[in-house]
Each structure stands twice: as C-alpha cells, then as structure tokens.
C-alpha cells in the first residue's frame, strides 16, 4: 500500500471521527491524496465535475427526493393511512399491520428510508402510542418498516449502485419488488405473532359502506408508482424522466386535486429537496474523488487477487461480504459503504460469476439492516428525533425486527431467484 | 440582514433546482405529447443540477444537513469537542486553501471547452466547484474561530 493511499485512509477516518461531515471528509482526504502524491490537484475538479456532468442517472435522485417531499406535505399520507386501516386495521395488532402497509405504499413513491421514517413514520408512531402500544415498540416497528423504502422501487441506493456497477436501473428496480413484498410479509407475520403473545389491541376498521369512499380518496396517489414503474418498464421514460414525472404527478395532486398545499409550503418543499440532494451529492462528489484514488492505486484488483488466492466460492464470498457489511453497517453510513466499499468488491463479485443485480439487492438489504442495528442505526436516531421516544427504548424492541430482516437477507442471499425472477420475466435482464 | 442574504442565496439555488424539474418534464412533454423532441433539455438538467447542488453545498447546507458520524463527538466533554473542532477546522482549511489555486487554474483552463449542445463554456460550470472548495475553506476558518471563542452549537 502506497504512502499516499495510507494518508487518504487515515485522513478520511480521522476527519470522520472529529465530526467533519462524511462527504467533506472524503473530499479533503482525496485532495490530500493528490497533494501527497505530487499530482495536479486540479485533477480533483476534473474527476468530480466530469462524473457529475456525465451521469444523467444521478439526476433521478433529486427528483425522487422532491417527489417524496411533495407527498409528505399534503394530505396524501392521511388518505393512505385511512385505506390501510380499512384493509387491515381490525385484525389483532391492527395498527402494526397498518404501519407496515403504509410503509410499503410510501416505499413505492419514495426511495429513502430516512425520509419515510421521518414523514409518515412519525404520524404512525403517534397513532400507535395513542392506541396503547409502547413508544419503544412503535418506534422500532416503524424504523424496521421504513427499511422497505430503498428496497421497493424507486430507490436511491439502487440508483447509486447502478452508477457504480454499471447495471440497469430498471432491472434493479424490478429486482426489488418481490424481496420488498417478502420482507413486508415477514414483518406482518412477526407483528401477528407478537400481537397474540403480547395482547396488542385491534385497531379501528371502517364499515363496508364507508370502504368505497376511503378507496376513492386514496386512489390517485396509488397511480404514482404504476405510472413511474410502468413508464420505465415499457421504455417510455429513463429513470430520471420517471422521477421527474413522478414529482410532477405529486405536485399536480397536492396543488390542483387535493389543494392542501400553499405556495410557501411548495417553496419549502423545493428548498428542502435541494438541501437534501446537495447533502447526498457532497458524499457522491467525495466518493468520486476517493474512488479515483482507490482505482489509481489498483486497490480493487488487489482485493480481488486476495479473495481469489483464498479459493473462495461465490457463496463464501457473498457470505463474507454480508458479515463484513453487517458489522460495518453498525458504525459506518450506508451511502459511504455503497460508494466506497462496493466498488472495491465489484471486480471480485464479477470474477466469481455473481450476478451484479443480485449482489446490489443483497448489499442494499444488508445496509438497511445496518441502519437498524445499534449503536449507529441511523433510523433509531431519526425516530427518536421526530417522536421524542428515547433511543434506548427503541433499541430494546428493535432486535426482534433485526432478526426478522436477517432471516429475509439469508433467504435472498441463498435463493437468488427470489430477486432475479421478476426482472428476467419482464425482459429487463438476461 | 444575515437572514435576508441567506434567503436570497437559498432562492438562487431553489430557482436553479426548480428549472431542472421543469426542463426534464418539458423533455418528456415534447417527446410524447408534442411529438417534437428537443435537444437542449438533454443537456440542461445535468448542468443546472450540478450548479444548484454545488451552490447549495456552498451556501445553504448547515452542519446538521450533512451526514456525519458523531458517536465520538457526543461522548466526549466540551473541552475535547473544542479541540476536535479546532483540529478539523485547521485540517479542512489548510487542505482546501492549499488545493484552491490549482482548482481555480483548472477551472480557468476549461474555458477552451464548451458543452456540445448549449455551447456553455465549461470554465463557467467548473467555477462552481472552485466556489464550493473555497466555501469549505471559509467555513473551516469559521469553525477555527468558533473553537477559539468557544460557542457550542445549539
């Protein structure tokens, strides 16, 4: 390992530890790498700007963020919650099921677990606490259900993975649907099991006469995922166009059909979306620079040679990566893992014949578990911040759901067809 | 005054960001509804979003908007936090100001190139990266000042 690569790694870790934002830590470490190497530091501008200007797919991220923002400001959330309550509210642990179902629907419109936990998640926790659930359980379940957001398309991690692994966004989106439904089903089964053992209350349903009204009220937002995914599937839109059309659909819904959003709210939605996008882009810019350095130092090839020298099978490699990511996911931000660690591992995965769509899916599910596992499970902090429930109470209840998600991960890892069946069936991959 | 300036800086970024959203939708509209595809909308969104993101990263993002690792920071007493802020400020300011002249040089050099469709000179676009690196340095200087005249964040 060269002197400049050691400087890069040490600077990145040290700056991160003294609370320099992760994206800026990577940028500064990358600049320091070029300085120590004696290379032209102007290369940093070239690497970052060319990557930004040439990647049309990255534009889907701000558009999906905008779409999620617009959905969260109006009454769309309330309408979807009413529908979920009408469908599954009456069964034992009803509100737990409502929580998961609402997260499934929101996941099909937004691609960020944090956005879903902070938006509809906060309202769901309030409803559950009012019905008699403990704050810790409500927070833990909501955090677990929010992990569906990046698995059920659209998904920001899938877009990032598509950029670094050079695979089809459409195939990745399709690959997320069945695993997303599988995880939601496992979570609902676990809620049902807990409901009988812990005597959770039944929720309120709606009368049969009121059902058509509730359905009608929630129908327009449900058209959004159909439009976007259908459009991408038939090749009408690129993912970026699909994302922008989704945001437009949400804008029309909240301004002209439901009319529950004012101009200042709209401005704030655009502003918040820009700030969130810029925050993600800072990490992406840092990652472009770090990845340039890592590639220049031939690190991915060295890692691949090391793995191959150990005579690992594909399953052994995948298992090792999963364990590594589960451990690192407790401490490191998922975007960093995706943008910095995954490119280092991709050549090995390719050489071992692992399907890169399958690899992307299991890595994303794994990272979502990382967002849920203590001590650095971002979702606990988000839930605690928006609901006031102490993190310790959420952590006490979250282990059970971590177990459920780990079981799902094992199924997805060992049975690739769960993931690959749909994109193959739709002709999005061979 | 400061909040008005901040609002104006935010508004520039928001306008740029909104134009990305409008341009992509125009692209879809012109292709499928008007049946008259336009070429400018292929290039404009990536340019405008790069500018908007760099602008917002320079002027709108606060520390809280970023993703950071604060397990260590939160676990240590105020005096250590002060030292951490000082060290971070010195390293970030030192590296960014060291790198800035080369980055400005590179941005200026890009005046020889322009984008293929809109013919926007690339030095104009690359200048926003230089502004961003400069803004990182200035913010780091601010952090050094904050560490010297210690004022913990609210």
Residues of chain B neighbouring A18 (CB-CB closer than 8 A): 72-73, 84-85, 87-88
Instruction: Report the half-sphere exposure of B125 (CA within 13 A, side-chain side).
Output: 25
pLDDT in tens, B87-128: 999 999 999 999 999 999 999 999 999 999 999 999 999 999
Looking at CA atoms only, how far is residue A275 from chain B in angstroms? Answer: 6
Q: Does B15 touch chain A (CB under 8 A)?
A: no
Looking at CA atoms only, how far is residue A14 from chain B in angstroms? Answer: 9
Cβ pair A270:B109 closer than 8 A: no
B57 contact partners, CB below 8 Å, separation of at least 6? A278, A279, A281, A282, B132, B135
The percent of residues above 70 in pLDDT, for chain B, comes to: 98
pLDDT of residue B153 exceeding 70, the answer is: no
What is the C-alpha radius of gyration for chain B, rounded to an integer number of angstroms?
Answer: 20
Q: Does B41 touch chain A (CB under 8 A)?
A: no
Specify the pLDDT at position A158.
94
Residue of A nearest to B107 (CA): A45
Residues of chain A neighbouring B130 (CB-CB closer than 8 A): 45
d(CA A97, CA A88): 6
Cβ pair B17:A375 closer than 8 A: no
Specify the pLDDT at position A187.
96
Q: Which of B82, B86, B95, B137 to mutate to test the interface with A (most CBs of A within 10 A)?
A: B95
- Give the number of other Cβ atoms within 10 Å of residue A40's Cβ: 14
Q: Does B102 touch chain A (CB under 8 A)?
A: yes
Cβ pair A28:B85 closer than 8 A: no
Residue of B nearest to A335 (CA): B67
Residues of chain B neighbouring A21 (CB-CB closer than 8 A): 63, 66-68
Question: Prior bond to A375 cis, omega within 30?
Answer: yes
Q: Does B50 touch chain A (CB under 8 A)?
A: yes
Specify the pLDDT at position A210.
83
Q: Does B5 touch chain A (CB under 8 A)?
A: no
The partner residue sitting opposite A274, judged by closest CB among B14, B88, B106, is B14
d(CA B9, CA B135): 13
Specify the pLDDT at position A92.
84
Cβ pair B52:A278 closer than 8 A: yes
Where does the pLDDT of residue B83 fall: very low under 50, low under 70, confident under 90, or very high at 90 and above? very high
The percent of residues above 90 in pLDDT, for chain B, comes to: 79
DSSP, residue by residue, B83-116? HHHHHHHHHHHHHHHHHHHHHHHHHHHGGG-B-T
Which residue positions in chain A have pLDDT lower than 70? none
Specify the pLDDT at position A290.
92
Residue of A nearest to B82 (CA): A18
pLDDT in tens, B62-71: 888 887 877 7
Specify the pLDDT at position A318.
92
Cβ pair B24:A42 closer than 8 A: no
Q: For chain A, give the number of residues.
A: 430
d(CA A34, CA A43): 8
The partner residue sitting opposite A24, judged by closest CB among B60, B84, B92, is B92
* Whether the Cβ atoms of residue B44 and residue B52 lie closer than 8 Å to each other: no
d(CA A5, CA A26): 13
Specify the pLDDT at position A178.
97
- Which residues make beta-bridge pairs with A52? none
Which has the closest alpha carbon to A28: A14, A49, A40? Answer: A14
pLDDT in tens, A36-47: 999 999 999 999
- The CA-based angle A182-A158-A265, given to 5 degrees, is 95
Specify the pLDDT at position B90.
97
Helix (H, G, I), strand (E, B), or coil: what is residue A231?
Answer: helix
d(CA A2, CA A158): 32
Specify the pLDDT at position A365.
95
């Amino acid at each position: 390992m060269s002197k400049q690569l050691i400087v890069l790694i040490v600077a990145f870790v040290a700056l991160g530890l003294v609370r320099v934002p992760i994206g800026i830590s990577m940028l500064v470490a990358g600049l320091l790498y070029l300085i120590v190497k004696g290379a032209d530091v102007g290369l940093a501008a070239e690497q970052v700007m060319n990557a930004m200007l040439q990647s049309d797919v990255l534009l889907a991220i701000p558009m999906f963020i905008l779409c999620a923002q617009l959905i969260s400001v109006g009454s769309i959330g309330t309408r979807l919650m009413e529908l979920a309550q009408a469908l599954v509210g009456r069964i034992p642990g009803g509100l737990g099921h409502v929580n998961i179902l609402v997260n499934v629907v929101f996941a099909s419109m937004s691609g960020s677990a944090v956005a879903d936990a902070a938006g509809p998640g906060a309202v769901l926790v309030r409803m559950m606490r009012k019905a008699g659930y403990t704050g810790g359980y409500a927070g833990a379940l909501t955090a677990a259900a929010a992990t569906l957001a990046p698995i059920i398309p659209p998904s920001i991690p899938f877009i990032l993975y598509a950029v670094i692994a050079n695979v089809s966004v459409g195939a990745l989106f399709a690959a997320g649907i069945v695993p997303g439904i599988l995880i939601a089903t496992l979570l609902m089964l676990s809620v049902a099991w807990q409901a009988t053992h812990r005597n959770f209350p039944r929720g309120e349903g709606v009368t049969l006469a009121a059902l058509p009204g509730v359905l009608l009220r929630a129908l327009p937002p449900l058209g959004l995922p159909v439009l976007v995914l259908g459009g991408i599937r038939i090749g009408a839109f690129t993912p970026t166009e699909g994302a922008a059309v989704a945001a437009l659909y949400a804008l029309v819904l909240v301004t002209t059909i439901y009319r529950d959003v004012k101009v200042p709210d709209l401005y704030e939605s655009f502003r918040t979306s820009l700030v969130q996008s810029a925050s993600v882009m800072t990490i992406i810019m840092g990652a472009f620079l770090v990845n340039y350095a890592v590639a220049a130092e031939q690190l991915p090839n060295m890692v691949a040679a090391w793995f191959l020298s150990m005579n690992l099978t594909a399953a052994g490699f995948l298992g090792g990566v999963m364990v590594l990511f589960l451990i690192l996911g407790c401490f490191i931000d998922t975007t960093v893992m995706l943008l910095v660690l995954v490119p280092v591992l991709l050549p090995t995965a390719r050489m071992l014949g692992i399907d890169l769509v399958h690899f992307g899916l299991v890595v994303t599910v794994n990272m979502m578990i990382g967002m849920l596992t203590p001590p650095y499970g971002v979702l606990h902090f988000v839930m605690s911040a928006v609901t006031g429930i102490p993190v310790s109470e959420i952590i006490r209840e979250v282990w059970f759901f971590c177990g459920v998600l780990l079981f799902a991960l094992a199924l997805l890892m060992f049975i690739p067809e769960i993931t690959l069946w749909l994109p193959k069936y739709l002709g999005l991959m061979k | 005054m400061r909040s008005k300036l901040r609002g104006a800086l935010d508004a520039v970024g928001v306008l740029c960001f909104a134009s990305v959203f409008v341009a992509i939708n125009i692209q879809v509209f012109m292709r499928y509804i008007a049946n008259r595809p336009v070429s400018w909308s292929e290039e404009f969104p990536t340019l405008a979003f790069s500018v908007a993101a760099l602008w917002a990263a320079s002027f709108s993002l606060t520390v809280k908007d970023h993703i950071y690792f604060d397990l260590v920071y939160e676990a240590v007493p105020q005096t250590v936090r002060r030292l951490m802020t000082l060290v971070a400020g010195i390293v970030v300011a030192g590296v960014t100001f060291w790198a800035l002249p080369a980055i400005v040089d590179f941005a200026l050099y890009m005046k020889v190139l322009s984008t293929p469709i809109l013919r926007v000179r690339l030095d104009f676009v690359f200048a926003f990266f230089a502004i961003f690196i400069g803004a990182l340095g200035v913010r780091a200087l601010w952090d050094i000042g904050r560490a010297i005249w210690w004022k913990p964040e609210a």
